[in-house]
Structure 1
């Protein structure tokens, strides 16, 4: 994966089927996020549940994006429903901002730095892992079913 460009799947088109998938996925993702917040409420000092939800959701989106890039068999409505709908509603940067606005300056800054750093790292690591596993553990460009970059017509 090092040095190779990242090609993300195209954004879903606006269709009724995609709209319905995003709506249902969004409802389910938001419901799960709220449920986890009720079962594991954030402590008085730091929103650890919100941070965990955002990191897990970002890692899942990174892994799925990489999988969808390697295997283009998933229908567009499914990608829209899971990616934009479910994971978009499950991850909650609006709740992060509400905490930051009400927190002491140092704690709010810590939450922003941890959230951004951990989410980017989790998303990247998940994409790299799925890319690696999708290539059968071979270094980039050594997949038997794919030509070396620049060697094709």
Structure 2
């Protein structure tokens, strides 16, 4: 039950964050969907960092992993938004824009996930701080 609550709360937060970025960076059907690209790249980086680092620690509860992964990041990033943009672009005859968007999404998504995994694994080999100092240097 705690995992379900974590997913529900994370999902509400992720949806709100996605709406905020979509509102800040609006785009039409014939425009390049910068907000969707930014959201998905940021989400891939964050999930890679978490999987490579924080989630390797046995002390992280399952409900936290469920709440942040499928909950927050699952609702923040979405494959369906990419598909909607691609269908809208191709329906408008913007085949090169659609192909470019698909290619950029795949390359940057995998790159961000790989960078996140690398960064997370380096952090995982360092102990978590027992206290936060006034200088703010915790890692």
Please give the TM-score of this superposition, normalised by the length of structure 1: 0.74
User: Is there any run of 5+ residues in structure 1 with no aligned partner, and where?
Assistant: 1-15, 137-153
Contact 2:14 2:74 in 1 (8 A): yes
Q: 1:106 aligned to 83, 96, 100, which one?
A: 96
Task: Kindly provide the CA deviation profile for residues 73-109 of structure 1, in whole angstroms up to 9, marking residues without a partner as x.
Answer: 1110010000110000001221110010010111111
- For the residues of structure 2 that align with 1:124 and 1:26, how far apart are their CA atoms? 24
Q: How many residue pairs are counted as aligned between the two chains?
A: 121
Match of 2:60 in 1: 74
- Tell which has more relative contact order, 1 or 2 (C-alpha 8 A, sep 6+): 2
Contact 1:25 1:82 in 2 (8 A): yes
Q: How far off its partner does 1:69 sit?
A: 4.2
Please give the TM-score of this superposition, normalised by the length of structure 2: 0.81
User: Is there any run of 5+ residues in structure 2 with no aligned partner, and where?
Assistant: 127-139
Contact 2:54 2:120 in 1 (8 A): no
Match of 2:7 in 1: 22
Task: Within 5 Å, give how 1:43-58 maps onto structure 2.
Answer: 44-58=30-44
List 4+ stretches of structure 1 deviating above 2 A. Answer: 132-136
Q: 1:116 aligned to 92, 101, 106, which one?
A: 106
